[in-house]
Amino acid sequence: MKLYVAMMTLLLQGCVLIPCARASEADVKWNEAVQSAKQGDNDFAFMDFQSIVQNYPDSHFSMLAQFAQGEYYFLQNNLQMASEVFARFNAQYPKREESLIALAYLFKIAQIQKDPQAVNKYHAMVASFNQLAFVFNESKSFSFLSGFGHRHKLSFSIDKVELYVDDKLFTTVPF
Amino acid sequence: MWMTNYLQQFLFKWKFAVLILVLTAAMIAGFSCWVNRYLPKYAHAYCNLIGQQLSEKFSFGEIHYGFPNRLILKNVQVLPLGKGTPMLKISRMVMGLSLPLSSSGPAINYVALNDATIDFALLKDYWDEHRPSLYAWARTLPQSNLRFFLPDGQIYLKSKTRDPNHFKIYVDLKQDHVLAHGTWDDKKKYDYVLSGNLIDHGFNLTKLTITEGESSINLWGQWQNNNIDWKGFILYKQIYILDISGHLNIRDTAIVLKDLSFSVNGDDVDLTGQCSKQKFFQCTADLTVSRQKKHLTAQMPVKDISFHLESQNTPQGPFFNGQADLKFLFKANPSFAIPHARLSFKNLKGRIINASLLQLRMDRLEAAWSGPDEHQVLAEDLLAGIHLTGNSHATITLSTRLYAGHYRSRFFLDTTSLPWQIVAQGQFEDIDINRIKDTLPFFRSYHGLLSGNVDLQSLKNMKLRGALLIRHGNFNDPHFLPWVARTLQMPTLEHLSAAEMSCHFSMDGLSKKIDDLHLQTDDMDLKGSFHLDEEDFVSSRLAVRFSKALLSESPMGRSIIGMVQEAWTLPFEFRLSGNLYRMNFQWDHSPLKDKVRQHMFAFVERMIDRRADANPYTAPQSPAFKVPGP
């Protein structure tokens, strides 16, 4: 009987501890990726982000890593892949404010690719994302630091959303 | 000696020949003189006889006999009896008679006319009146081969004040074979060739070709007893009418078009119908058009057309009733979600004012279409004028009674190339809004009269402008009021009654604008504009002043009353933007807002902003909305 209790205890501890170990692995991977990005090794950083998405999909870093993948493709000027990753990101996290940043990227890519249908589609999605009320304030903002260390800031006003990347205006979506 | 004899003999032969020649000439001259002496008398008598038989007056200035078989008439005129104007005038007419002359009368070999002038209206009246006697008379003429030449004819189709049309005719009738060709000048020059054979009780048309430039009509077929069958094709500019196949049956009482089928640039057309022989214009016709899928465009998504037409001849003239059914393939134009439409008219009457102006009048025109709902437009006492202003241009003016009001418009149509270009301008006045609610659901919340303008530029760019004036109107859920009602928590605003409203409105394609809006009730006075673009994005600025009672209804209003003295006298100015169904709101800078802010701490302002975001009507989609930071 004691033996059974001891085995069950060990089994339960294993069930609890293994995810913790995996979570810490994701944490380590994330730190490695961010460190690579800081050192300018974007390709290594991308490999680490990809590894997080594939191996730790339930980790809270998975969302950030996915966004970083899209960002990497965009910085590499691989607009097609960037578009696919950001669209997938938006589908997977439709209610996260980061999704609006992904949509702003998609809007910008559609503008660069001169695809009017896609421009209209993402314009409508951005404009319908939030319903905003400005009683006393005339703007609201949301900030997000990406895996590659770029500070993204969404600035909302009554008739437009602006996305700033590292304090530079990246794109404006009027509505 | 031999030479002398020969000369004498030769001289004698010459003398003899000359003598014979002189005698012959004298005989011919004498015969000609004799004929020419009696010919006018005989010809006048013969003309009178023909005139009596055919109810006409056939006269000529001179008549000459030309040896051996020619009769030459000058200044020939044919007048219908009782008319002072000739229907046919010929400067010179030469008739060749066949020899020997038969006992039944002279058979004519050929007829050549010079400088012939025809008054078509008189000739047509005469033909309509005396057709049977003309047929009977023609049958009494001796049968022979005949050639007919008219190299310089002119015909007045309508009025002698207009230039005549010039034409040439060459006809060769050889036994049963007919060959005719010539030209017709009507600003454009048309060449025609006709050949065929007379057969028992009919005519076999082997070729009828009419050409003008690169356009042509080509027909062939057969007329036998009471049946006419024909086939052919027509090429006109970029329009190809091919595979023409028709069958017509002439009965005692009616002419029946059993079937006429053809294709227009690949679109199939079928036509059947019949006309009464007793009553001209008493007809029925059914037309169906099936358009090829590849021809369906966003501008012209009509797939199938069925058209039924009935005409009745009355003492007041012919009247037409008709109905057209149109089926649309709205995949060609996703914004045009109308699968089916019907157009019917009653008591249509047409009147040709002149060659370029047609006037149409109808008692009733009804258009119905089905989309998500059934819609119907009814126009009464419609008057339209179609004015052709060139070969490819027309101006259409339209005036009608419409829902207790009146509608007038002018269309400019350019058919130079496909699709046709349409530019239209119209005005409507005093349309009863109650009667158009089913047709235009936008007006379901309103009562009153509607006046305005309609501009249409091609089918793809429709513009509508107008002014709306509503007195004692009831408003249920117009776009911006429920938003204000729920945001400010003023339930009274969701339904307004006894309201006065005025605005200018415009529709340009799918975008809509309301400007100079003024909506007033006992409790509210709203001014501003409301624009909606083609993707349903709003841009609106409004200023609204509430009564003290209404302002007290809202918790926010009560707070404002507590802070600002006589707050109800100051307008509440705000802006709306974004998706129509998820509009963003901003309270604009205004004296009221400035006064409220004087009484507020910053944290209270932030709290109110958060509450506004938490309002179920304005709640953002993302619950993770946070300010600021990740």
Q: Is B626 on the interface with A (CB under 8 A)?
A: yes
Residues 6+ apart with CB under 8 A from B180: B169, B170, B171, B172, B192, B193, B194, B195
For residue B446, tell me if it sits in a domain: no
Mean pLDDT is lowest, of A18-27, A65-74, B498-507, for A18-27
DSSP bridge pairs for B97: B108
For residue B325, tell me if it sits in a domain: no
Average pLDDT, integer, range B118-139: 81
Quickly list DSSP for B68-109.
TTEEEEEEEEEEETT-SS-SEEEEEEEEEEPSSPBTTBPPEE
- Predicted local distance difference test score (pLDDT) of residue B1: 58
Residues 6+ apart with CB under 8 A from B526: B517, B518, B519, B520, B542, B543, B544, B545
- Tell me the pLDDT band of B462, cut-offs 50, 70 and 90: low
pLDDT digits (tens, 9 = 90+) for A27-46: 888 999 999 999 988 889 99
Q: What is the dihedral of CA A129, A131, A133, A138, to 10 degrees?
A: 20
Cβ-defined contact of B627 to A140 (cutoff 8 Å): yes
- Say whether pLDDT at A52 is over 70: yes
Q: Is B534 on the interface with A (CB under 8 A)?
A: no
- Tell me the pLDDT band of B617, cut-offs 50, 70 and 90: very low
- Predicted local distance difference test score (pLDDT) of residue B480: 62
CB B480 within 8 A of CB B436: no
- Predicted local distance difference test score (pLDDT) of residue B563: 84
Facing residue for B582 by CB, picked from A128, A141, A158? A128
pLDDT digits (tens, 9 = 90+) for B206-229: 999 999 988 899 999 999 888 999
In angstroms, the separation between the Cα of residue B493 and the nearest Cα of chain A is 19
- The CATH architecture that domain A2-174 belongs to is Alpha Horseshoe (1.25)
Average pLDDT, integer, range A125-142: 85
pLDDT digits (tens, 9 = 90+) for A12-30: 454 444 444 445 688 888 9
d(CA A46, CA A27): 15
Question: What average pLDDT does chain B have?
Answer: 81
Cβ-defined contact of A136 to B578 (cutoff 8 Å): no
For residue B109, tell me if it sits in a domain: yes
- Predicted local distance difference test score (pLDDT) of residue B625: 29
DSSP bridge pairs for B193: B181, B209
d(CA B520, CA B476): 15
Residue of A nearest to B575 (CA): A158
- Predicted local distance difference test score (pLDDT) of residue B295: 72
d(CA B523, CA B551): 9
- Tell me the pLDDT band of B623, cut-offs 50, 70 and 90: very low
DSSP reduced 3-state for B278: coil
Mean pLDDT is lowest, of A35-39, A101-105, B81-85, for B81-85
d(CA B305, CA B32): 71
Most confident of A27-36, B385-394, B598-607: A27-36
Domain boundary among B131, B158, B174: B174
CB A150 within 8 A of CB A71: yes
Q: Which domain holds residue B531?
A: 502-630
- Predicted local distance difference test score (pLDDT) of residue B618: 45
- Predicted local distance difference test score (pLDDT) of residue B622: 33
pLDDT digits (tens, 9 = 90+) for B2-23: 666 766 676 677 888 888 888 8
For residue B289, tell me if it sits in a domain: no
Residue of B nearest to A143 (CA): B629
Domain boundary among B131, B154, B174: B174
- Tell me the pLDDT band of B260, cut-offs 50, 70 and 90: very high
Q: Is A127 on the interface with B (CB under 8 A)?
A: yes
CB B506 within 8 A of CB B465: yes
pLDDT digits (tens, 9 = 90+) for B162-173: 788 889 999 998
- Predicted local distance difference test score (pLDDT) of residue B628: 29
ipTM of the complex: 0.77
d(CA B426, CA B413): 14
Q: Is B540 on the interface with A (CB under 8 A)?
A: no
Average pLDDT, integer, range B582-597: 86
- Predicted local distance difference test score (pLDDT) of residue A12: 47
For residue B326, tell me if it sits in a domain: no
- Predicted local distance difference test score (pLDDT) of residue B192: 94
Interface test with A, best of B535, B554, B577, B588 (most A CBs within 10 A): B577
Pairwise pLDDT comparison (A94 vs B442), residue with the higher score: A94
CB A175 within 8 A of CB A122: no
Residues 463-492 of B with CB under 8 A from A: 487
In angstroms, the separation between the Cα of residue A119 and the nearest Cα of chain B is 12
Cβ-defined contact of A142 to B487 (cutoff 8 Å): no
- Tell me the pLDDT band of B299, cut-offs 50, 70 and 90: low
For residue B75, tell me if it sits in a domain: yes
- Predicted local distance difference test score (pLDDT) of residue A84: 93
- Tell me the pLDDT band of B243, cut-offs 50, 70 and 90: very high
pLDDT digits (tens, 9 = 90+) for B87-111: 889 999 998 887 665 555 567 888 8
- Predicted local distance difference test score (pLDDT) of residue B466: 73
Domain boundary among B147, B174, B201: B174
Cβ-defined contact of B622 to A95 (cutoff 8 Å): yes
Q: Residue B419, preceding bond cis, omega within 30 degrees?
A: yes
Give Dmax over CA atoms of chain A in angstroms: 72
Average pLDDT, integer, range B514-521: 90
Q: Is B541 on the interface with A (CB under 8 A)?
A: no
d(CA B568, CA B570): 5
- Tell me the pLDDT band of A67, cut-offs 50, 70 and 90: very high
- Predicted local distance difference test score (pLDDT) of residue B232: 93
Which of B412, B361, B418, B417 lies closest to B389 in space, CA to CA?
Answer: B412
Average pLDDT, integer, range B28-47: 79
Instruction: Give ∠ CA B376-B381-B385 in degrees, rounded to 5.
Output: 105
Residues 42-81 of A with CB under 8 A from B: none
For residue B365, tell me if it sits in a domain: no
For residue B182, tell me if it sits in a domain: no
- Say whether pLDDT at A106 is over 80: yes
- Tell me the pLDDT band of A63, cut-offs 50, 70 and 90: very high
Percent residues over pLDDT 70 in chain A:
86
Average pLDDT, integer, range B454-466: 66
d(CA B469, CA B612): 34
Percent residues over pLDDT 70 in chain B:
85
pTM: 0.51
d(CA B480, CA B584): 11
d(CA B462, CA B510): 8
> What are residue B452's phi and psi, to 5 degrees?
175, -170
- Predicted local distance difference test score (pLDDT) of residue A102: 95
- Tell me the pLDDT band of A72, cut-offs 50, 70 and 90: very high
DSSP bridge pairs for B511: B508
Cβ-defined contact of A133 to B537 (cutoff 8 Å): no
Average pLDDT, integer, range B153-158: 82
- Predicted local distance difference test score (pLDDT) of residue B229: 95
Pairwise pLDDT comparison (B429 vs B186), residue with the higher score: B429
d(CA B65, CA B532): 89
Report the amino acid identity of residue B495. H
Average pLDDT, integer, range B593-607: 82
DSSP bridge pairs for B10: none
Residues of chain B contacting residue A128, judged by C-beta atoms under 8 Å apart: 578-579, 582, 621
In angstroms, the separation between the Cα of residue A99 and the nearest Cα of chain B is 10
CB B209 within 8 A of CB B202: no
Interface test with A, best of B532, B556, B584, B585 (most A CBs within 10 A): B584
- Tell me the pLDDT band of B182, cut-offs 50, 70 and 90: very high
Q: Is B43 on the interface with A (CB under 8 A)?
A: no
| Domain definitions of chain A by residue range | 2-174
Q: Which helix (H) or strand (E) holds B597?
A: helix B591-598
CB B537 within 8 A of CB B578: yes
- Predicted local distance difference test score (pLDDT) of residue B621: 36
- Predicted local distance difference test score (pLDDT) of residue A168: 94
- Say whether pLDDT at A7 is over 70: no
**Cα dist. A29→A32, A49, A146, B224, B595 in Å?**
5, 8, 15, 97, 55
- Predicted local distance difference test score (pLDDT) of residue A161: 92
Instruction: Give ∠ CA B582-B586-B588 in degrees, rounded to 5.
Output: 155
> What are residue B130's phi and psi, to 5 degrees?
-120, 25
Which of B538, B543, B547 lies closest to B528 in space, CA to CA?
Answer: B543
Total number of domains in chain B:
2
